[in-house]
Amino acid sequence: MDFMAFLFGVLFLGYLGINIWDRWEERKHNLFTEDGRFLRHQFLRALVYAPEPTVYLSENAKFAVQQSRAAHRCEVCHQPDCFDLETSFCHRCNHRTL
């Protein structure tokens, strides 16, 4: 190995090391508050224990949605055979169910 290849390797590894260090410091800065407390557990607690949204019905409401779930058939042709569950797209009528 000649000197130029060795120098290139050292500079390249130094460049990678500096980038990894900068990303680590930035991530560490984003995970902690000013007083040093860790934020991730507070974020996860907010996701897990989020309050259920309150549903307010108007006086002339005819029905209320009790629960929602992913569609298992097309809402246009009402057939499950050509309906893709992952993309919610029906290949028969080219309709995407929301």
For residue 14, what pLDDT is reported?
92
Distance in Å from the first CA to the final CA of the chain: 60
For residue 36, what pLDDT is reported?
57
pTM over 0.85? The answer is no
CA-to-CA distance for 81 and 39, rounded, in angstroms?
46
For residue 6, what pLDDT is reported?
92
Q: From first to last of its 98 residues, what are the pLDDT tens digits of the chain?
A: 699 999 999 999 999 998 888 887 776 656 555 555 556 555 555 556 656 777 777 788 887 777 777 788 888 888 888 888 888 888 888 878 76
For residue 13, what pLDDT is reported?
92
Integer CA distances (angstroms), 93 to 75, 77, 85, in order: 10, 7, 15
Domain ranges for the chain, please list them. 1-50, 58-98
Over residues 32-49, the pLDDT tens digits come to 555 555 565 555 555 566
